Amino acid sequence: MTVRTVALSEERALLDLLPPTAPLAWVRRGEGLVAWGTAARLELPAQSERCGGGRFAAAAEWLESLLAGITVHDEVRRAGSGPVVFGSFTFDGRDAGSTLVLPRVLVGRRGGRTWLTVVGEESDPLVPAPPPRPVGGLRWSPGTVREDAWASSVARAVERIRGTELAKVVLARDVVAEATRPVDVRTLLRRLARGYPDCYAYSVAGLTGATPELLLRRTGDRLESLVLAGTARRGATEDEDTALAAALLDSAKNIEEHVYAVQSLRRALEPFCAALRVPARPELLRLANVQHLATPVRATLRPGVATLRALAALHPTAAVGGTPTPLAMEVIAELEGMRRDRYAGPVGWLDAHGNGEWGIALRCAHVDGRRARLFAGSGIVADSDPAAELAETTAKFHAMRAALTDG
């Protein structure tokens, strides 16, 4: 197998290049990667362990074998050039479906430079794509667990937290949309990128969304991460928005939730880092529909640390699982009442040199033909209120609901 990367003078928006069939994307503010076609693909079966690195180790083994059989001609030589795989891992290792894809055609753009990567022989890799289709009419239905039952699960989780060593658990729920025809994922990507430019609009094997949470960005030995935990809605006026932001920054419940997430990431990263820089206090990240407490983390990795190994150590963070993690995962399995599949798992890309960007698959839907299954979750601590947590998940559904709704 031969992979060639060349510089490109292409000026079209990255998302405009995507064909309708199985698009792959990781785009923020017009930069990133889009790709299509399948040169190689791995879909992993269920693993034996809920947490742990089994599926990440299996993916690393497959990738090492794949790269060993590739001849690379790379004229660009930067992060994201040469062979690149897109990936999406299940939240729970016992669920099948973690997927890696080596696309046949990729276009990347970063810092004013654009490049084209082709695997094998493609006579005309940039054939103009038909325009994205509107979604059309939708029929909405409850997800796996009804709202009242989910709120009851939140109340049970609060009781568990107050009565055991469990400090925090994240509970998620789903809703389902059924369209009259197959959903064009490119339509969702365009709407998400336009509405949430500071998020990473992604699509891998039907999982499509816009995540604000950067789990890991690696360039050489430098690593960055962004911890998000603690959420408030946006205000209808500037004064209300400011008041909500101030209340979020002063909220004991949200600060507690955020501290658990930061501590979780610090513990996971420390064994792999020569240097680790974590701010003492969170800042505010404002998105179109919600605002979050955010802590940007920067690190220098020790020599020889593989990216997928670091990724395995980071997942699941307290932001999507809980604290302590093993107990939180047991409570999720007991109380949540649904399979998350790849929701809240790592999603992103990785090149042959270990460079890559991986987010947590949030604000997303799994699109399968005419059906879209949307997910949202909330962090539960000792003083959580079930009605407030239900309202938080409803606010988080807004991004994908809007993306699915024709204006």
Catalytic machinery residues = 168, 213
Q: Is 197 left (phi over 0), alpha (psi -120 to 50) or beta?
A: alpha
Q: 380 — phi, psi (to 5°)?
A: -105, 125
Q: 200 — phi, psi (to 5°)?
A: -100, 110
Cβ-contact 264, 318 below 8 angstroms? yes
Q: How far apart are CA 17 and CA 23, in angstroms?
A: 10
C-alpha gyration radius of the chain = 21
Q: Helix, strand, or coil here: 379? A: strand
* Residue with the two structure tokens 């059924």: 178
Q: Is the peptide bond before 324 cis (omega within 30 degrees of 0)?
A: yes
Closest to 187 measured CA to CA, from 1, 407, 361: 407
Q: How far apart are CA 250 and CA 174, in angstroms?
A: 30
Q: 108 — phi, psi (to 5°)?
A: -120, 155
Residues 6+ apart with CB under 8 A from 15: 25, 27, 34, 186, 189, 190, 193, 201
**What are the counts of helices (DSSP H) followed by strands (DSSP E) for the chain?**
8, 23
Q: How far apart are CA 133 and CA 208, in angstroms?
A: 16
Q: What burial class does residue 186 get, using C-beta atoms within 10 Å of its C-beta: 0-12 exposed, 13-18 middle, 19+ buried?
A: buried
Q: How far apart are CA 331 and CA 160, in angstroms?
A: 9
Both tokens assigned to 221:
């030995």
Q: Helix, strand, or coil here: 230? A: strand
Cβ-contact 301, 310 below 8 angstroms? yes
Q: Helix, strand, or coil here: 158? A: helix
